[in-house]
Structure 1
Amino acid sequence: MSLSGQGAAYWSATLKLLGGILAVWFICSFGAGILFADALNSIKLGGYPLGFWFAQQGSIYIFIALIFFYAKAMGDLDRKFDVHED
């Protein structure tokens, strides 16, 4: 694989990872917190409606988990394409 081909593959893999993470972020923040809040409010979590919980607390926990997932996944991609830092 040529250097430009490897660079294009690395960029494609990076964009695919970012697209997936942004999709999860959107579904959890906008979807669960706003669009589907009424449907989720029939479920209680800690005494609070689930839609409210996602809007106030759950999204924050998911965002933090996404940060750690992104760091690990990018490290793996960097090693796979041999562009990692030592």
Structure 2
Amino acid sequence: MSKNIPSGPSPDQDSRYWKKNITVLSCILVIWFIVSFGCGILFRDWLDVHFPKVGNAPFGFWMAQQGSIICFVLLLIAYSFLMNRLDERSGYQSPEHH
């Protein structure tokens, strides 16, 4: 009495899935680095001069304090969306999504 258990993704599909996973993660981390280190530290003075103030704060200061946090939350949402879509396309859905 053997049950018909789906075999799951093949090793080739696993390899493609992990390459796409690493690509998504790398893009998210590059954006995170640019926003946190770039806007918050490296380009802060340039942003202060070339962008309008946000409230009473110069734009570079605002990005270092508040804008980067907003961007991080948006990155988390984007990561969740992109990984759910990749999981769906690659056959790695959890059982409750069927």
TM-score higher than 0.5: yes
2:12 pairs with one of 5, 27, 36 = 5
**Post-superposition CA distance 1:10-48 (Å, at most 9, x none):** 000000000000011000000000000010011212221
TM-score normalised over the length of structure 1? 0.94
1:27 aligns with 2:31: no
1:65 pairs with one of 57, 68, 74 = 74
Q: How far apart, CA to CA, are the structure 2 residues paired with 1:84 and 1:32?
A: 36
Larger gyration radius, structure 1 or structure 2: 2
2:59 pairs with one of 37, 50, 60 = 50
Query: Which blocks of at least 5 consecutive residues in structure 2 are unaligned?
Result: 1-8
Higher strand share: 1
TM-score normalised over the length of structure 2? 0.83
2:6 corresponds in structure 1 to none
Q: Number of paired residues?
A: 85
Poorly superposed stretches of 4+, deviation over 4 Å: none
1:14 aligns with 2:21: yes
Q: How far apart, CA to CA, are the structure 2 residues paired with 1:11 and 1:53?
A: 36
Secondary structure in structure 2 of the residue aligned to 1:48: coil
Letter in 1 for 2:74: A
